[in-house]
Amino acid sequence: MRTATSAPADPAAAQQPGRRSPILIGLAAALAWSAAAISAVAWADVGDWVETGSFAVGTAILAATCAVLPLLGRWLPRGAARIGQAGPWLIVSGLFLTAWQLGSAKFGWLPLPFFPPPQALLEVYVDDFAPLGQHLLASARLLITGFGLGAGFGFLAGVAIGWSRRAGYWVHPVLRFIGPLPATAWLPIAFFAFPSSWSASVFLIALASGFPVTVLTWSGVASVNGAYYDVARTLGAKPSFLILRVAIPAALPHVFVGLFMALGTSFSVLMVAELIGVKAGIGFYMQWAQGWASYGNVYAALVVLALLCSGSITLLFKIRDRVLSWQKGLVAW
């Protein structure tokens, strides 16, 4: 996540290499990915890796794309600009894959099974596409349910504490006692008290996500400028209008900060729950693969998990930019 304050003084300086010589950067990226493709076919594999040919074809296609798109910048300006902007990362990733390929599949410098070659991950995606997709859907379902319940309850509790002193009197002590505790500390009680491991995991994720949303929503409601309420009361606003149309909209920036914090915490609890009790999900799949020493499956699942985390945060950012359009561009992901 980057903020506007961390940007360079000259906005054009951040993308100057891509704008100065996109063709040269594209050619350098093409050479890096061509090296990955050549390394896959130039030497024989140490082990039996089925997808070596597919890996070579895929890297060769990406190398050709990096070389051709900048040359077509007149007709495809967006594609050429993206190659120019992502060129340094493309170069580094191509060289990394080449070194990984040589050190694992070709010369055996990296010990197996702990460091499988990149085509081993490709083999997992080809062979285990359906099971991995089912585990991904199970993790997403568990995350959405737990995070939705926790964020919803935390939002309501935060509004109540920030608005009502009576609610703050009763809820605040409970929040101070339960909130700082790690959600994983409730594992023994949760798996005993709930009828299934899935419902216990939903409770733990909701508990972990509810605390930051409650605190940040409470802070946002409590910090609303009192002049807003005075103006609304002068115009005849009722308490319900003050809450729904004044307090909550003014507190939304704080609410989204709490949601981002809650989402990160939810992923941590999700992995713990799936590793311990839930019988489906990315965490369960990783534990099963590690038990069979299938580290290619473990790394492939890690990539899928990273995409799930990044995609969830990206979606939340898009919602934030739509709801808080006046803050769009202030914080980018």
Could you tell me the CATH number of the domain that includes residue 133?
1.10.3720.10
Q: Annotate 157-185 with b (16+ C-beta within 10 A) or e (fewer).
A: bbbbbbbeeeebeebbeebeeebeeebee
Per-residue pLDDT at 328: 63
The DSSP annotation for 150-174 comes to HHHHHHHHHHHHHH-HHHHHHHHHH
Same domain flag for 190 and 289: yes
Has residue 119 been placed in a domain?
A: no
User: What is the residue-level pLDDT of the chain in tens, covering all 333 positions?
Assistant: 544 444 444 444 444 443 457 888 989 999 999 999 999 998 988 888 889 999 999 999 999 999 998 888 788 888 888 888 888 999 999 999 999 999 999 998 998 889 999 999 999 999 989 999 999 999 999 999 999 999 999 999 999 998 888 888 888 888 888 878 788 888 888 878 888 888 888 998 999 999 999 999 999 888 888 888 888 888 888 888 888 888 888 889 999 999 999 998 898 888 888 877 778 888 889 988 888 888 999 999 999 999 988 898 989 988 888 888 766 656 555
Same domain flag for 58 and 136: no
Tokens of 270: 């999700």
Same domain flag for 102 and 215: no
Domain residues for the domain of 37 are: 2-110
- Residue 115's φ and ψ, nearest 5 degrees, are -130, 75
Has residue 279 been placed in a domain?
A: yes
Q: Which residue has the tokens 């304050």?
A: 5
Inter-residue contact 1 to 309 (CB < 8 Å) = no
Inter-residue contact 80 to 72 (CB < 8 Å) = yes
Q: How far apart are CA 173 and CA 41, in angstroms?
A: 65
Same domain flag for 155 and 97: no
Cβ contacts of 110 within 8 Å, gap of 6 or more: 100, 103, 104
Cβ contacts of 328 within 8 Å, gap of 6 or more: 321
Has residue 31 been placed in a domain?
A: yes
Inter-residue contact 274 to 282 (CB < 8 Å) = yes
Same domain flag for 187 and 100: no
Same domain flag for 249 and 279: yes
Per-residue pLDDT at 329: 57
Same domain flag for 91 and 171: no
Inter-residue contact 66 to 33 (CB < 8 Å) = yes
Q: Which residue has the tokens 């694992």?
A: 104
Tokens of 222: 């409590």
Burial of 62 (0-12, 13-18, 19+ CB in 10 A): buried
Per-residue pLDDT at 20: 54
Per-residue pLDDT at 243: 85
Same domain flag for 24 and 84: yes
Has residue 55 been placed in a domain?
A: yes
Same domain flag for 318 and 178: yes
Same domain flag for 106 and 140: no
Per-residue pLDDT at 238: 86
236: phi > 0 → left, psi -120 to 50 → alpha, else beta; which? left
The DSSP annotation for 271-330 comes to HHHHHHT-SSSHHHHHHHHHHTT-HHHHHHHHHHHHHHHHHHHHHHHHHHHHHTGGGTTT
- Total domains in the chain come to 2
Which residue type sits at 197?
S
Last residue in a domain, options 61, 83, 110: 110
Has residue 167 been placed in a domain?
A: yes
Same domain flag for 149 and 267: yes
Q: Which residue has the tokens 């130039």?
A: 42
Last residue in a domain, options 110, 144, 168: 110
Within a 10 A sphere around the Cβ of 241, how many other Cβ atoms?
14
Tokens of 297: 């499956």
Has residue 293 been placed in a domain?
A: yes
Has residue 121 been placed in a domain?
A: no
Per-residue pLDDT at 98: 95
Has residue 123 been placed in a domain?
A: no
3-state SS assignment for residue 2: strand
The residue length of the chain stands at 333
Last residue in a domain, options 110, 138, 162: 110
Same domain flag for 223 and 166: yes
